[in-house]
Chains A and B, each alone.
Chain A
Amino acid sequence: METLNRNHISYKEMDELIGLAEKVSENIDTLKGKIKVKKAYMLLYFVLPLWIVLLIILGILGQFFNTIFSSIMPEIAVKLLGGITVVAFFAQTLLKFQELIKIKITINKEEKVLQKLLNMIEGYKDLYAEDEYGHNSPILLKALFEMRLSRISFGVK
């Protein structure tokens, strides 16, 4: 077996890498949380105009306003108001969709960074473990790294 004569991995290097991975993971988690909120808004903006469209189609709105408020508001105004509301809600849905896409692109970038970091950490971790056994460094430090790594996640689904 060939022997190795090499530089050893310092605690600081490992700590910095894991620290960075923790930050990226936290960011991904926050962004995925934002996506959930945006999806809920989108659903709301999308469902409301659908109901309005349904009501207009059925003529309920028209009939309702004709019988009760015909003197105050003509039928055409009601339909116009309904139309504007529907368009406004759909525009909002589109805007939210655009924001959603932007967040998803950012998440993809962050996930690639995290994957690269984890690949590096995994390699350095093995080297660090060898150093640890060879130089009697505290085993607790390795356990600490493992614990910190097991909290790093690619975010909630």
Chain B
Amino acid sequence: MGTMPWSLLIRSSLTAYQKRHLLQHLWKNLLTFSDLGKTNIVVLGRPAVGKSVLTSKLYGEANDFSWELPDTSSEVESRAIQLGEWTSLVRVIPGQTTAESDIGIDEAFNKHSELQGVIFVADWGFTGIRDNTLKESMIKKQGIDTLEKLRQHNLKSELAYFKRACDKIREAYSNGRKIKWVLIVINKVDLFPENVEDAMNYYSLNSNSKFAEILNETLKSIGELNIKCSIMPISAWQSDFSWNKDEVKTNLGGTDIERELFRELITKIAEFSK
């Protein structure tokens, strides 16, 4: 008689242990739904680099036929994403400077103690301009009339944004937050498949670029052994890119490559998050 509850307790504990990943996944989903969870991974990047699309792809919803390409995000997006065995609460910070993005950054870096990693989304200058008035002004009044000029302009702006992001990481470290990893994701590689290596070199820690300089400075100030860093190419959404009279066709070479890049990205995040 007395052994029954014990065997039941042991069996249920064993089942709970075996299903721990599923239980943690459900728990994280509940926390995300109630907006009470603490950020594990924060996604940063300039507007229109593809942060939301990348996150939707990782979440799995972008593969649904009813899914539509998102417009500019005005609010912080939260997703419980399974990366490897465990689920992480991923928050995407809007690229524009607004009260919402400021609060999102502050919560992720200063208030929450569970922030493990930062994903910085870059696009090697292939950032589209969403507003037509601005586009016209940039082409006609500002003289940014070629794709190369636009890329140079975008890369400069990306540097300024990246510097601010690095300042936040340093600030978080000085406040005792232990961010374990930084991942630089180079999105839109379908637009420059032959120059992926050049792009990787530009963002690489070993290059002479201004980007690498900022990244190296940040890692040194934190202590290079305390934080892991990697650069990964990705193509979150394949589409052509045009600017004024210039046009670049998407040319990744099939969905197999796209999937492979995603697989590698997920593996890397899972490895970092262990």
Question: Which A positions have Cβ atoms within 8 angstroms of B?
Answer: 1-2, 4-7, 111, 114-116, 118-127, 129-130, 146, 149-154
Contact between chains at A119 and B99 (CB < 8 Å): no
Chain A CB within 8 A of B257 CB: no
Contact between chains at A6 and B142 (CB < 8 Å): yes
Contact between chains at B97 and A150 (CB < 8 Å): yes
Q: Which of B72, B133, B143, B149 sits near A115, CB closer than 8 Å?
A: B72
How would residues 62 to 83 of chain B score, 1 for a CB under 8 Å from any chain A CB and 0 otherwise? 0000000001101100000000
Contact between chains at A151 and B99 (CB < 8 Å): yes
Which A-chain residue is minimally distant from B157 (CB atoms)? Answer: A126
Chain A CB within 8 A of B96 CB: yes
Contact between chains at A130 and B72 (CB < 8 Å): no
Contact between chains at B156 and A120 (CB < 8 Å): no
Contact between chains at A6 and B141 (CB < 8 Å): yes
On chain B, the number of residues with a Cβ less than 8 Å from chain A's Cβ atoms is 31
Query: A1-B152, A123-B129 provided; 17 other pairs, C-beta below 8 A?
Result: A2-B152, A4-B143, A4-B149, A5-B143, A118-B72, A119-B96, A119-B134, A121-B96, A122-B96, A124-B134, A126-B153, A126-B157, A126-B160, A127-B138, A152-B98, A153-B99, A154-B74
Contact between chains at A123 and B138 (CB < 8 Å): yes
Distance, CA A135 to CA B148, complexed state (A):
23
Majority SS at the chain A contact face: helix
| B143: chain A residues within 8 A (beta carbon) | 4-6
Chain A CB within 8 A of B144 CB: yes
Distance, CA A151 to CA B143, complexed state (A):
32
Contact between chains at B98 and A150 (CB < 8 Å): yes
Distance, CA A6 to CA B152, complexed state (A):
15
In angstroms, how far is the closest chain A Cβ from the Cβ of B47? 6
Distance, CA A44 to CA B72, complexed state (A):
37
Q: Which of A2, A116, A118 sits near B98, CB closer than 8 Å?
A: A118
Report if A129-B75 is in contact (Cβ < 8 Å); known contacts: A2-B148, A6-B143, A118-B96: no
In angstroms, how far is the closest chain A Cβ from the Cβ of B235? 24
Contact between chains at B96 and A130 (CB < 8 Å): no
Contact between chains at B146 and A2 (CB < 8 Å): yes
Chain A CB within 8 A of B112 CB: no
Chain A CB within 8 A of B50 CB: no
| B85: chain A residues within 8 A (beta carbon) | none
Distance, CA A120 to CA B47, complexed state (A):
11
Chain A CB within 8 A of B130 CB: yes
Report if A119-B131 is in contact (Cβ < 8 Å); known contacts: A2-B152, A6-B142, A126-B156: yes
Interface residues of B in 159-183 (CB under 8 A from A): 160
Chain A CB within 8 A of B194 CB: no
| B102: chain A residues within 8 A (beta carbon) | 150
In angstroms, how far is the closest chain B Cβ from the Cβ of A109? 14
Report if A154-B153 is in contact (Cβ < 8 Å); known contacts: A4-B143, A6-B142, A120-B131: no
In angstroms, how far is the closest chain B Cβ from the Cβ of A24? 12
